[in-house]
């Protein structure tokens, strides 16, 4: 359905995330992948969705030579806990620290998407609230050792073992927690 709708556009996904790439494949659209290195640094005064909106826009600004038919998709995801953004962990110790913070608490997963071509840019976001059960050190260490969640915001993937055993409750989109509120992106694609 979308393939026909988007046939006159070159859809560019600027993400190295295998999960986001799989979402695009599952939507059955033609797209290319083009990732530019961006220092994901944001002003200290930003909070929640302001951070992910800023970073999605920052990633989009790295593309300066879009053509008439190009539609660029960039995105960013953070875990938001007690007024603190948890991004991707630097190493196992950092991952352990993040998962210890999340243990037994409710947090938000926030993803922003920038949709840009030479005539317009729109940034949308989605927020999902996730509640974790108390995690033992043994569970955290097992997960880090076996799943190496170093490319995931908040040091966890909902679609992996930790998601099966840790999540008590969730309010909002599961796919947002995986890394892309695909339902919202679909709606925007249908408006093109």
Q: Is 164 helix (H, G, I), strand (E, B) or coil?
A: helix
How many other C-beta atoms can be found within 10 angstroms of the C-beta atom of residue 50?
A: 15
Residue 78: CA count within 13 A, CB half-sphere: 24
Residues 123, 114 contacting (CB under 8 angstroms)? yes
Backbone Cα Rg of the chain: 17
Residues with catalytic annotation? 76
d(CA 152, CA 129): 17
DSSP state of 130: E
């Amino acid at each position: 359905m979308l393939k026909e709708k988007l046939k006159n556009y070159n859809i560019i996904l600027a993400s190295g995330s295998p999960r986001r790439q799989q979402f695009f494949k599952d939507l059955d659209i033609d797209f290319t992948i083009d990732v530019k290195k961006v220092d994901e640094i944001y002003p200290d005064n930003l909070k929640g969705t302001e951070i992910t909106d800023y970073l999605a826009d920052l990633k989009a600004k790295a593309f300066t030579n879009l053509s008439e038919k190009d539609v660029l998709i960039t995105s960013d995801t953070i875990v938001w806990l007690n007024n603190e953004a948890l991004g991707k962990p630097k190493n196992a110790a950092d991952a352990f620290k993040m998962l210890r913070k999340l243990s037994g608490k409710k947090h938000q997963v926030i993803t922003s998407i920038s949709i840009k071509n030479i005539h317009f840019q729109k940034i949308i976001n989605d927020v999902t609230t996730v509640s974790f059960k108390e995690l033992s050190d043994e569970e955290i260490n097992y997960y880090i050792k076996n799943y190496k969640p170093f490319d995931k915001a908040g040091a966890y993937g909902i679609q992996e073992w930790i998601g099966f055993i840790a999540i008590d409750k969730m309010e909002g989109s599961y796919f947002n927690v995986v890394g892309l509120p695909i339902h919202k992106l679909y709606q925007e694609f249908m408006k093109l």
